[in-house]
Amino acid sequence: MNARLICFCVLLISSFQSFSQENQSTEVTNVTKANFLSPGVSVERKVGKLQTISLQAYMSTSAYFFYSSSLGTDAGISFDPALSAQYRYYYNAAKRQEKGKRTEMNSMNYVGAVWETLFSKDAVTDSGIEQENRRPVNSIGIVWGLQRNYQKRFSLDLNLGAGYMFAKETEFDEGRYITSTKSMITPLGQLSLGFWLNKGK
């Protein structure tokens, strides 16, 4: 697991080299938001001319559906507290400026590295069972995203990518409960809608 994680991090860091962009007149700013889809709060802080660190505490919402010819069907919605940290590099400031589009409040596209932790009882594999207590389900990966913070304070943030997930999982095997760490490649994605809270800009 450690070797795969190290290789993944090396690929993640090297992937940002292809997104360099020169002679930018736009700079990112600090942004604070309250979200109602993926409800919670996020704080984005400038760490470079076009680079930020974004921290978010929110409630993750996910739907599931299960069907088995012997066990029947089961469906539901899960609400799990979650934390995430992202490094973002905004790469299309010049193109948006040339087209007269808004770049204020980091209204640009980005690539980033993300660490996400859900505190969930849900199984992460088909053979796993629901946990008695919430445990951390961790994901690390790379994403492409876009953020739009409009003048009337509405905020949209969408990111999609791929990552590596690992978590404790309990399985029932040959009459015994066995708990071990499971890991796998996983898709990543989040849509946040809300309002930015800074002074008007």
Provide the residue ranges of all domains of the chain, joining segments of one domain with +: 2-17+47-196
Residues 188, 160 contacting (CB under 8 angstroms):
yes
**Average pLDDT of span 141-156:** 97
Provide the whole-model pTM.
Answer: 0.80
2-17+47-196 CATH choice from 3.40.1350, 2.40.160, 2.40.50, 3.30.450:
2.40.160
Residue 129, number of CB atoms within 10 A of its CB: 14
Taking only the tens place, the pLDDT of each residue in 46-92 is 999 999 999 999 999 876 666 655 556 767 778 899 999 999 999 99
For residue 18, the model assigns a pLDDT of 47
Specify the pLDDT at position 21: 45
Task: Output the pLDDT for position 20.
Answer: 46
Grade residue 3 by pLDDT with cuts at 50, 70 and 90. low
pLDDT exceeds 60 at position 9? no
* Mean pLDDT value across the chain: 87
* Residue 143 half-sphere exposure toward CB, CA atoms < 13 A: 29
* Nearest-angstrom CA–CA distance, 193 and 183: 30
- Closest CA relative to residue 94, chosen from 103, 86, 83: 103
Mean pLDDT, residues 80-107 taken together: 96
Q: What is the mean pLDDT of residues 91-98?
A: 95
